[in-house]
Amino acid sequence: MLSDPREVLTRPSPPPDATVSYGDHPDQCADLRLPAGDGPPRPLVVVVHGGFWRVEYDRTHTGPMAAALAALGHPVAQIEYRRTGGPGGGRPHTLTDVRAGIAALPGLAAAALPGRVAQVPPILVGHSAGGHLALYVAAHAPETVGGVLALAPVADLAQAYRLDLDGGAVAALLGGGPDDVPDRYAATDPSALVPIRSRTVVIHGNRDAQVPIAISRSWVAADRAAGGTATLVELPECEHFGLIAPGSAAWPRVVEALLSLHDDLPGIDAASPSR
């Protein structure tokens, strides 16, 4: 474990190779990173950051993670989106931004990184609230998603509201609780959207104090009961932030799961530059 798990949130990383916009708002953008080496085009990996959808947290804290994934040979995009507490943040724009960005990013990245991005749906790597957003997009627009790696996702918004995670974060996103705005939960809560058709792997640490592992356990069970194929990897002695920290004890399991999703894509050579 890291001596200070939250250190990853401020850890420096190399600057991105390019930044593209998928809309007119300043937050409708993504940082791109070239894959290491000179291999063939590979599926884009889209990192969807967490931070409980709040404006205080942006994509920069996923820089070390994105750089590490690019070093493995993957083109990487760190998507930004409007967040609660900022102009236009919360429902619906937080949700529609990510959905629109993920649909547009393979083409935008291919133009910015010529010859490096395969024109297939991207693999989504979402952490915490970003895991929620990745599952939301996979449920509503599965044709735009090649696979989902959900790291400690907020996969049950109603339960997260009842637990008051991060002091009202879900109410800030949706404008109330499940009894106040049930239609909004029905449309956005992954627990109401099973099964997820995209290949999905969930990784969660059993010492997570920000998002209880019980949320992932119940969501994966619900997905499988509904006919889905989601799998859960539980990591002992792992807290919330080690999942996005290259060099942590959890990081090799994150890489292993990503490679399994990459190799499952149709028409993709299973030989990865990281193998």
Does residue 274 lie in a domain region?
no
Does residue 268 lie in a domain region?
no
CA atoms within 13 A on the CB side of 66: 32
Do 200 and 131 meet the contact criterion of CB atoms below 8 Å apart? Answer: no
Domain count, the chain: 1
End-to-end CA, the chain: 25
The pLDDT of residue 22 is 98
Beta-strand pair 200-205/147-151: parallel
Range of the domain at 81: 5-263
The pLDDT of residue 272 is 46
Q: Is 100 helix (H, G, I), strand (E, B) or coil?
A: helix
Does residue 63 lie in a domain region?
yes
H helical segments located in the chain? 63-71, 93-112, 129-140, 157-162, 169-174, 182-188, 213-225, 251-264
Q: Distance between alpha carbon 249 and the CA centroid of its chain, in Å?
A: 20
The pLDDT of residue 264 is 73
The pLDDT of residue 273 is 47
Does residue 270 lie in a domain region?
no
The pLDDT of residue 268 is 54
Q: Is 29 helix (H, G, I), strand (E, B) or coil?
A: strand
In tens digits, the chain (275 residues) has pLDDT values of: 446 788 889 999 999 999 999 999 999 999 999 999 998 999 999 999 999 999 999 999 999 999 999 999 999 999 999 999 999 999 999 999 999 999 999 999 999 999 999 999 999 999 999 999 999 999 999 999 999 999 999 999 999 999 999 999 999 999 999 999 999 999 999 999 999 999 999 999 999 999 999 999 999 999 999 999 999 999 999 999 999 999 999 999 999 999 999 877 765 554 444 44
The pLDDT of residue 266 is 61
Does residue 98 lie in a domain region?
yes
Does residue 108 lie in a domain region?
yes
Q: Which CATH number characterizes residue 193's domain? A: 3.40.50.1820
Does residue 119 lie in a domain region?
yes
Please list, in sequence order, all residues whose beta carbon lies within 8 angstroms of the beta carbon of residue 243, skipping any fewer than 6 positions away. 127, 151, 152, 203, 205, 235, 250, 251, 254
Does residue 64 lie in a domain region?
yes
Do 17 and 52 meet the contact criterion of CB atoms below 8 Å apart? Answer: no
In degrees rounded to 5, what are phi and psi of residue 93?
A: -70, -35
